[in-house]
């Protein structure tokens, strides 16, 4: 039945994505673990965490697209939810270090020993349990989004105002996490992780599993998002995006719809953050930087917002490009990045997905006269 | 202020010595020129640790002919010839003899005589002693200022002597205060003398007096009555200082607010009036600051005399540079994005990255030095308030810019067109207003104002490619808090955020104060989603 | 969506995924590769770009001398863009893809912490050129900047002896380096008999720009009748507004001297130093050091960057020392093999720019002289004090209770970065 649902609900592109993510989740780790290093298809170990990172970014972009592309809420603070998820996971990993820290304290992380903390603060309790940490990965961003959204949507803060206060939110969190007295390691954040669920983080098998987990979870999140946007609620979200007042006058509680989208999106961002941390090996307040959140918006815009495929493509492409350019042309890569943003907003208002569609429409002009193509999305969020 | 005083003092000293005033000042006759020369030459010998002793020895001679050499030592203009152990003073680009002040031609390699803080402090105290009876009252005033810091019982006879001569009330008062400070240091002083001294310092009421009183209590050994009086005096001073402290905090808040206002005011036009989320706004500020830098560089190399006016020259240029970049941006990018405010965010963010990197490629990534002209350096005291000139100018400047924009908006033809276009674009167009050009010039105006702000901010902040980034979020907060589309809101928003921040800072620390203000803004927006001064009317919902 | 467009988008997507995953492959060559891992964009570019240029110059000079082991050196420059996780990614790229023999890089502590696991795992060599908080000794990292005992403690000693300072303001940016340094200094000062109330500790955020309140607090604290000094661990960008405010509020070095550990020639280049004359800095090198080696270095540097006004600074000297140590160790080992070079590096001694020799100690820190300089009106420092001999960097401070029992010795048989002398165990990271 599910497979039937998959086929009826999903477009070809979506099916290709899901299948290729599943294939990648199996093939890439296999190519890393099973093939000898000389083999042409061997995937070197250092690339696994890198690609895993891209997949986490893709998930984050997907989360943002759910609120921005489908619900018209441009959040400039999604990096905050990502980072909170990351911190929750990082705290678990810190607790796993146990007595192997440099000061060999059985309970306290190194930075606490160093700052003369005598006992573990209350908010660190429970993070030695994997299930609890994973619960927090979704609960903390979700709760923050709930509280923030509840206030903001109820008082009808919309459009630009909402964008700017989400930016203020992540900026305030950035400053707060920078403080050493907060108990999250200050500027250095959490680092020097040893293992996860008893497996060493430096082992190739762990890395391969984390990569596979990232790919599969991305596929899963994609499926969930697809279900949401094609459900009645999803339709309502898009209606809010197009004509908020009209939805309200029809009798729907717009703030509830928005709140739902915002909280789900924050939780997905949290999961992305939690997968990100063990793969890059560090989480620090820099992740809260407003610039990071803006970058997520840009990935989404490059790929094409209002589609679920777009943000994933955008995130993979921009980050792949970033990795390449920072090595190949370190002096000029910011020019390229800046020009890309300008070009995309000017010439590709619907992102790459929009471009594909345009090209295809042109090719199919003769054959597709009967099927009137519905716009992929509405260009403009109602202000 | 102090540096300026020093400079005045130094030049007057030069004149004084050059005009051979020494005959009128009672100099001990027994200091022969050769002895002086020998002691001055000794300043260059030995290690830094030995220098205080040598300065004391030189000052002991009591000749004010030594002042020039001591000043040169303080200012790092004293050079010694290793071979002949002769000491010379650098004056401009040539060397002079420290006593006769005649120019000398020396071919040998000269080495600068080293001094450190302690040496300079002691030399300054020595000069103070030598100038205490100078005919110039400003010099005497400076001497007593220095002496108060280094009050010491050895100075007592000198002070008493000066007190007899002194006619200038201000100097006399200061002398009495020094006397009081010395009395308090003396454990064997009589109780009456101590009480009188405490009264004197209590009247003085400054932080310095507080320091002396606290030192008195710490050293103990005094009678209970004196201790009690000192304690009361401390409390009284602290109380008056606490009251001044509130005003001081308001001042700090206003001056922080003026910085915020300057940073935000251009944005109040581009974002507030036109609805463009201009993420490159900070970079416009940066362009203004770099323009100032370039202007100062040109002045430094070609017209050194104009340095004092560098900021005035930079202002119109910064306006033009940033305005031109803004104009180009509007014409080439933003005009295609009207009606899509959230997408202007992306495009302008891209522009900001490009501008940053461009500046980095042209000027390098390091900080650039932008000098403060003389009239922007230093501070002065107003009652118990300490006001720095640069902050005062920036506050005044921000208000002038604000008033200027109000005038343009409300009184000029261009302002009228601008308001017409914002309120109803199509109606304005059908009345014959060239809306695209009004848009372009409005954006150029906002960017130009940001450039002007950059000139002012270059005086207090880093001039680096990252300059803009550090102001962008604050600027948006101010505009949103004040209410988009309302200039008065921006003014009130900036000032109240500044003051709130400064009142929180002493209790919460700088970081928490900032976080708290951000949280307050977030909560405030929930309560009043359109800011402090919301625009009313139908246009708002459009 | 039409059938055709679906197929196009689907294949394009698949192509995209596969192509993005094939990025980056190793190219073998006849040169020895040296990695340069310094931010060229973002907030840290301001400091780190200079170091990148310094490395390129050192490599070029070495190549003129015939390279190392008869091979030319090839610099591999990457831009981690002041983004800490990106540092780890770029380090991985340098080691795994470019197979560099050694990496010279990093500035901030957090960026170093971020790359540590990478160097450990891929067994690379990192030379870290910046003064830092200590409390670390890793097998793959060589610390050529100053540890707290090579900078902070001699500076405080100088103020105690020469200025007879009795009250202390410890002002810093809120991150690990100032926190550690201030903790060490507070313990040290208390041991010297300074009472709790005579020490004021203040932390500010990164890039703090409004110093009015704090400077006036310092002024108030300093007028309590005791000689006061400020020990500043304020970082980077925040320094310019801080010093400007000091100058404007009329705090002269003769009243309240400020001794800074993060302010060098490069930072002063962005400042009008006239009102700052007499404020102090403690480093292991100043541009004003009067030795032939330094004169030559400055000349080469200015020629290399084609700018007669460019200044040199302490971290540049640290790279100079570190690079020469690496060259010497590679020649000693006869190979660029990491394990051999790591072992060969200990005990290597090369000339520094202040007229002496610096030696790599078994704890991977080096010996250096400590210089105290006063700011001059021309933006340079005048050296007013110098330690009698060389000071060896101490990885684990003796003034912190938890690290006092730890020592580091990477020689066999101990081979441990944090050996606990009381429990006789190598805690935490095991030696290999």
Question: B311 and B458: one domain?
Answer: yes
Question: B381 and B524: one domain?
Answer: yes
Interfacial C residues in 102-161 facing A (CB < 8 Å): 108-110, 113-114, 116-118, 121-122, 135-136
CA distance B347 to chain A (A): 4
Q: For residue A59, what are the CA distances in angstroms to A220, A227, A287?
A: 10, 16, 16
Percent of chain A scoring above 90 in pLDDT: 49
CA distance B437 to chain A (A): 20
Whole-number Å distance between alpha carbons of B114 and B508: 43
Those residues of chain C that have pLDDT short of 50 are 1-2, 13-28, 429-432
CB spacing of B342 vs A339 below 8 angstroms: no
- Total domain count for chain C? 1
CB spacing of A165 vs B339 below 8 angstroms: no
Say if residue B18's pLDDT is above 50. Answer: no
Residue in B120, B256, B379 closest to C248 by CB: B379
**Going by CATH, does the domain composed of A2-369 fall within 2.20.25?**
no
C83 touches chain A (CB under 8 A): yes
Residue B526's CATH number: 1.10.3470
Cα-trace Rg, chain B: 30
Return the H-helix or E-strand segment holding B111.
strand B110-112
Side-chain-side CA neighbours of residue A289 (13 Å): 17
CB spacing of B366 vs C50 below 8 angstroms: yes
Neighbours of A283 (CB within 10 A): 33
| Closest by Cα among B176, B187, B239, B178 to B218 | B187
Whole-number Å distance between alpha carbons of B366 and C271: 11
Is the distance from CB of B288 to CB of B502 less than 8 angstroms? no
* Range(s) of the domain holding residue B138: 2-150
Each residue's pLDDT tens digit, C333-346 = 999 999 999 999 99
* Range(s) of the domain holding residue C203: 152-260
Each residue's pLDDT tens digit, B111-164 = 888 888 888 888 888 888 888 878 888 888 888 888 887 777 778 888 888 888
Q: Is residue C279 part of a domain?
A: no
Each residue's pLDDT tens digit, B236-261 = 988 988 898 899 999 999 999 999 99
Contact residues of B toward A, CB < 8 A: 275, 277, 279, 333, 336-337, 339-347, 349-354, 356-358, 361, 469, 473, 476-477, 480, 484, 511-512, 514-515, 518-519, 521-523, 525-527, 529-530
Is the distance from CB of C112 to CB of C141 less than 8 angstroms? yes
Q: Is residue B327 part of a domain?
A: yes
Q: Is residue C230 part of a domain?
A: yes
Least confident of A7-11, B11-15, C203-207: B11-15
Q: Tokens 């480093």 appear where?
A: C283
- The whole-number pLDDT of residue A374 equals 45
Whole-number Å distance between alpha carbons of A85 and A91: 10
Interfacial C residues in 274-293 facing B (CB < 8 Å): 274-275, 277-278, 280
Both structure tokens of A4: 């039937």
CB spacing of C49 vs B391 below 8 angstroms: no
- The whole-number pLDDT of residue A370 equals 46
| Closest by Cα among B460, B451, B496 to B478 | B496
A115 touches chain C (CB under 8 A): yes
CA distance A152 to chain C (A): 28
- Closest-CA residue of B relative to A337 is B350
Is the distance from CB of B460 to CB of C241 less than 8 angstroms? yes
What is chain A's mean pLDDT, rounded? 87
Total beta-carbon pairs less than 8 A apart between chain B and chain C? 153
Q: Is residue C274 part of a domain?
A: no
Q: Burial level of A138, CB count in 10 A (0-12/13-18/19+)?
A: buried
- Total domain count for chain B? 2
- The whole-number pLDDT of residue B108 equals 76
CB spacing of A172 vs B522 below 8 angstroms: yes
Instruction: Name the band, by pLDDT with cuts 50, 70 and 90, for residue B536.
Output: low
Whole-number Å distance between alpha carbons of B502 and B516: 12
- The whole-number pLDDT of residue A367 equals 57
Q: C297-328: string of b/e by CB count within 10 Å (b at 16+)?
A: bbeebeebbeeeebbbbbbbbbbbbbbbbbbb
B33 touches chain C (CB under 8 A): no
Percent of chain B scoring above 70 in pLDDT: 92
CB spacing of C249 vs B214 below 8 angstroms: no
What is chain B's mean pLDDT, rounded? 84
Per DSSP, the three-state class of B380 is strand
Q: Is residue B421 part of a domain?
A: yes
Return the H-helix or E-strand segment holding B89.
strand B87-91
Each residue's pLDDT tens digit, B309-355 = 999 999 999 999 999 999 999 999 998 888 777 788 888 999 999 99
CB spacing of A334 vs B515 below 8 angstroms: no
SS (H, E, C) chain A: CHHHHHHHHCCHHHHHHHHHHHHHHHHHHHHHHCCCCCCCCCCCCCHHHHHHHHHHHHHHHHHHHHHHCCCCCCCCCHHHHHHHHHHHHHHHHHHHHHHHCCCCCCCCCHHHHHCCCCCCCHHHCCCCCHHHHHHHHHHHHHHHHHHHHHHHHHCCCCHHHHHHHHHHHHHHHHHHHHCHHHCCCHHHCEECCCEECCEECCCHHHHHHHHHHHHHHHHHHHHHHHHHHHCHHHHHHHHHHHCHHHHHHCCCCHHHHHHHHHHHHHHHHHHHHHHHHHHHCEECHHHHCHHHHHHHHHHHHHHCCCCCHHHHHHHHHHHHHHHHHHHHCCCCHHHHHHHHHHHHHHHCCCHHHHHHHHHHHHHCCCHHHCCCCCCCCCCCCCC
Q: Is residue C202 part of a domain?
A: yes
Residue from B350, B468, B505, B541 to probe the interface with A (highest A Cβ count within 10 Å) = B350
CB spacing of A180 vs C179 below 8 angstroms: yes
Last residue of a domain, one of B103, B133, B150: B150
CB spacing of B514 vs C382 below 8 angstroms: no
Residue C190's CATH number: 3.40.50.2300
SS (H, E, C) chain C: CCHHHHHHHHHHHHHHHHHHHCCCCCCCCCCEEEEEECCCCCCCHHHHHHHHHHHHHHHHHHHHCCCECCECEEEEEECCCCCHHHHHHHHHHHHHHCCCCEEEECCCHHHHHHHHHHHHHHCCCEEECCCCCCCCCCCCEEECCCCHHHCHHHHHHHHHHHCCCCEEEEEEECCHHHHHHHHHHHHHHHHCCCCHHHEEEEEECCCCCCCHHHHHHHHHHHCCCCCEEEEEECCHHHHHHHHHHHHHCCCCCCCCCEEECCCCHHHHCCCCCHHHCCCEEEECCCCCCCCHHHHHHHHHHHHHHCCCCCCCCHHHHHHHHHHHHHHHHHHHHCCCCHHHHHHHHCCCEEECCCCCEEEECCCCEEEECCEEEEECCCCCEEEEEECCCCEECCCCCCCCCCCCCEEEECCCCCCEEEEECCCCEECCCCCC
- The whole-number pLDDT of residue C145 equals 94
Q: Is residue C245 part of a domain?
A: yes
Q: How far is CA A370 from the centre of its chain?
A: 39
Query: Which ipTM was obtained for this model?
Result: 0.85
- The whole-number pLDDT of residue A379 equals 43
Is the distance from CB of A190 to CB of A90 less than 8 angstroms? yes
Last residue of a domain, one of B131, B150, B169: B150
C248 touches chain B (CB under 8 A): yes
Question: B306 and B434: one domain?
Answer: yes
- The whole-number pLDDT of residue C430 equals 40
- The whole-number pLDDT of residue A150 equals 93
Say if residue B535's pLDDT is above 70. Answer: no
Last residue of a domain, one of B150, B185, B207: B150
Say if residue B274's pLDDT is above 50. Answer: yes
Whole-number Å distance between alpha carbons of B307 and B293: 12
Say if residue B470's pLDDT is above 50. Answer: yes
B205 touches chain C (CB under 8 A): no
Least confident of A252-266, B18-32, C138-152, C217-231: B18-32
Both structure tokens of C217: 């607090």
């Amino acid at each position: 039945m599910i497979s039937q649902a998959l086929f009826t609900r999903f477009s070809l592109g979506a099916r290709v994505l899901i299948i290729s993510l599943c294939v990648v989740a199996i093939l890439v780790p296999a190519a890393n673990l099973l093939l000898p290093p000389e083999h042409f298809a061997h995937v070197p170990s250092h690339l696994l965490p890198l690609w895993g990172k891209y997949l986490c970014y893709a998930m984050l972009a997907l989360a943002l697209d759910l609120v921005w592309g489908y619900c018209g809420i441009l959040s400039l603070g999604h990096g905050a939810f990502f980072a909170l998820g990351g911190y929750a996971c990082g705290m678990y990993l810190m607790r796993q270090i146990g007595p192997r820290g440099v000061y060999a304290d059985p309970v306290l992380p190194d930075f606490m020993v160093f700052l003369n903390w005598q006992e573990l603060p209350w908010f660190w309790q429970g993070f030695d349990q994997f299930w609890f940490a994973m619960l927090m990965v979704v609960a903390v961003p979700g709760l923050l989004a709930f509280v923030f959204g509840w206030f903001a949507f109820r008082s009808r803060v919309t459009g630009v105002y909402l964008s700017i206060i989400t930016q203020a939110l992540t900026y305030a969190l950035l400053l707060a996490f920078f403080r050493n007295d907060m108990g999250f390691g200050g500027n250095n954040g959490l680092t020097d992780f040893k293992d996860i669920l008893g497996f060493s983080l430096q082992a190739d098998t762990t890395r391969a599993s984390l990569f596979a987990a990232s790919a599969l979870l991305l596929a899963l999140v994609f499926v969930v998002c697809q279900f949401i946007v094609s459900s009645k609620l999803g339709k309502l979200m898009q209606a809010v995006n197009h004509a908020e007042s009209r939805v309200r006058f029809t009798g729907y509680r717009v703030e509830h719809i928005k709140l739902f989208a915002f909280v789900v999106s924050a939780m997905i961002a949290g999961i992305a953050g939690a997968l990100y941390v063990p793969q890059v090996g560090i989480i620090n307040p820099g992740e809260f930087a407003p610039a990071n959140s803006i970058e997520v918006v840009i990935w989404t815009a490059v790929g094409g917002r209002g589609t679920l495929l777009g943000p994933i493509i955008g995130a993979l492409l921009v980050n792949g490009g970033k990795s390449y350019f920072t090595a190949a042309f370190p002096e000029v890569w910011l020019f390229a990045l800046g020009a890309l943003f300008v070009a995309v907003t000017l010439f590709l208002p619907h992102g790459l997905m929009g471009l594909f569609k345009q090209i295809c429409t042109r090719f199919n002009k003769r054959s597709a006269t009967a099927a009137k193509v519905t716009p992929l999305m509405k260009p403009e969020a109602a202000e | 202020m102090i540096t300026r005083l020093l400079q005045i003092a130094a030049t007057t000293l030069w004149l004084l010595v050059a005009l051979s005033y020494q005959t009128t000042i009672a100099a001990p006759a027994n200091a022969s020129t050769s002895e002086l020369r020998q002691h001055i030459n000794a300043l260059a010998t030995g290690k830094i640790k030995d220098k205080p002793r040598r300065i004391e020895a030189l000052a002991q001679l009591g000749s004010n002919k030594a002042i020039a050499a001591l000043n040169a030592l303080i200012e790092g203009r004293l050079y010694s010839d290793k071979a002949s152990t002769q000491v010379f003073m650098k004056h401009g680009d040539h060397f002079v003899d420290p006593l006769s002040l005649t120019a000398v031609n020396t071919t040998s390699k000269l080495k600068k005589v080293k001094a450190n803080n302690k040496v300079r402090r002691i030399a300054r105290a020595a000069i103070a002693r030598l100038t205490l009876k100078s005919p110039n009252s400003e010099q005497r005033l400076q001497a007593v200022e220095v002496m108060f810091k280094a009050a010491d019982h050895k100075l007592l006879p000198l002070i008493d002597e000066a007190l007899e001569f002194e006619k200038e009330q201000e100097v006399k008062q200061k002398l009495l205060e020094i006397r009081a400070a010395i009395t308090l240091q003396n454990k064997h002083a009589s109780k009456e003398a101590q009480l009188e001294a405490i009264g004197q310092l209590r009247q003085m009421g400054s932080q310095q007096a507080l320091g002396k009183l606290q030192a008195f209590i710490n050293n103990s050994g005094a009678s209970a009555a004196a201790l009690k009086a000192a304690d009361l005096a401390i409390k009284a001073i602290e109380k008056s200082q606490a009251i001044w402290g509130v005003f001081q905090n308001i001042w700090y808040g206003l001056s922080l607010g003026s910085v915020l206002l300057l940073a935000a005011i251009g944005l109040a036009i581009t974002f507030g009036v036109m609805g463009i989320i201009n993420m490159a706004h900070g970079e416009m500020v940066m362009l203004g600051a770099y323009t100032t830098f370039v202007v100062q560089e040109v002045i430094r190399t070609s017209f050194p005399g104009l340095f004092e006016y560098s900021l005035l020259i930079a202002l119109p240029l910064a306006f033009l540079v940033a305005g031109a970049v803004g104009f180009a941006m509007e014409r080439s990018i933003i005009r295609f994005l009207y009606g899509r405010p959230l997408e202007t965010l992306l495009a302008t963010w891209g522009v900001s990255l490009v501008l940053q990197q461009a500046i980095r490629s042209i000027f390098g990534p390091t900080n650039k030095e932008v000098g403060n002209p003389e009239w922007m350096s230093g501070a002065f005291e107003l009652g118990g308030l300490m006001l720095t000139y640069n902050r005062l100018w920036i506050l005044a400047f921000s208000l002038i810019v604000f008033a200027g924009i109000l005038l343009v908006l409300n009184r000029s033809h261009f302002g009228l067109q601008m308001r017409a276009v914002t309120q109803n674009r199509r109606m304005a167009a059908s009345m014959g207003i060239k809306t695209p050009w009004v848009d372009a010039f409005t954006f150029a105006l906002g960017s130009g104002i940001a450039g002007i702000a950059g000139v002012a901010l270059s005086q207090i902040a880093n001039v680096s490619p990252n300059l803009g980034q550090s102001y962008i979020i604050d600027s948006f907060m101010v505009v949103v808090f004040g209410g988009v589309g309302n200039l008065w809101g921006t003014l009130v928003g900036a000032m109240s955020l500044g003051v709130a921040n400064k009142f929180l800072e002493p209790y919460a620390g700088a970081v928490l104060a900032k976080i708290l203000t951000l949280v307050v803004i977030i909560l405030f927006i929930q309560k009043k989603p359109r800011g402090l001064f919301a625009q009313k009317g139908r246009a708002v919902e459009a | 969506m039409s059938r055709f467009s679906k197929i196009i988008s689907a294949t394009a997507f698949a192509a995209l995924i596969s192509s993005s995953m094939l990025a980056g492959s190793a190219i073998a060559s006849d040169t020895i590769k040296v990695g340069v891992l310094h931010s060229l964009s973002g907030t840290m570019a301001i400091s780190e770009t200079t170091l990148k240029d310094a490395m390129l110059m050192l490599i070029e000079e070495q190549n003129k001398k015939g390279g190392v082991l008869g091979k030319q050196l090839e610099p591999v420059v990457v831009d981690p863009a002041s983004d800490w996780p990106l540092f780890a990614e770029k380090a991985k790229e340098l080691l795994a893809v470019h197979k560099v023999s050694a990496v010279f890089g990093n500035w901030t502590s957090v960026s170093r912490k971020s790359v540590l696991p990478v160097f450990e795992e891929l067994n690379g060599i990192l030379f870290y050129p910046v003064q830092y908080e200590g409390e670390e000794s890793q097998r793959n990292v060589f610390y050529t900047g100053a540890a707290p005992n090579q900078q902070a403690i001699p500076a405080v000693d100088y103020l105690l002896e020469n200025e007879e300072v009795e009250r202390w303001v410890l002002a810093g940016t809120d991150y690990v380096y100032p926190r550690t340094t201030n903790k060490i200094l507070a313990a040290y000062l208390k041991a010297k008999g300074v009472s709790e109330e005579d020490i004021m500790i203040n932390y500010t955020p990164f890039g703090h720009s409004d110093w009015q309140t704090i400077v006036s607090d310092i002024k108030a604290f300093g007028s309590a009748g005791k000689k006061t000094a400020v020990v500043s661990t304020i970082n980077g960008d925040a320094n310019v507004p801080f010093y400007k405010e000091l100058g404007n509020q009329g705090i002269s070095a003769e009243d309240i001297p400020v001794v800074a550990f993060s302010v060098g020639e490069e930072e002063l280049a962005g400042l009008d130093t006239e009102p700052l004359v007499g404020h102090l800095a403690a480093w292991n090198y100043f541009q004003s050091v009067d030795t032939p080696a330094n004169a030559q270095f400055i000349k080469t540097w200015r020629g290399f960057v084609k700018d007669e006004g460019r200044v040199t600074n302490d971290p540049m000297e640290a790279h100079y020392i570190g690079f020469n140590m690496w060259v010497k160790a590679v020649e000693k080992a006869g190979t660029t093999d990491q394990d051999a070079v790591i072992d060969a590096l200990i005990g290597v001694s090369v000339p520094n720019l202040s007229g002496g020799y610096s030696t790599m100690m078994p704890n991977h820190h080096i010996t250096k002289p400590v210089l105290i300089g006063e700011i001059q009106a021309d933006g340079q420092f005048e050296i007013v004090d110098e330690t009698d001999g060389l000071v060896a960097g101490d990885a684990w401070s003796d003034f912190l209770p938890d690290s006092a029992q730890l020592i580091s010795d990477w020689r066999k048989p101990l081979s441990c970065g944090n050996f606990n002398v009381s429990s006789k165990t190598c805690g935490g990271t095991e030696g290999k």
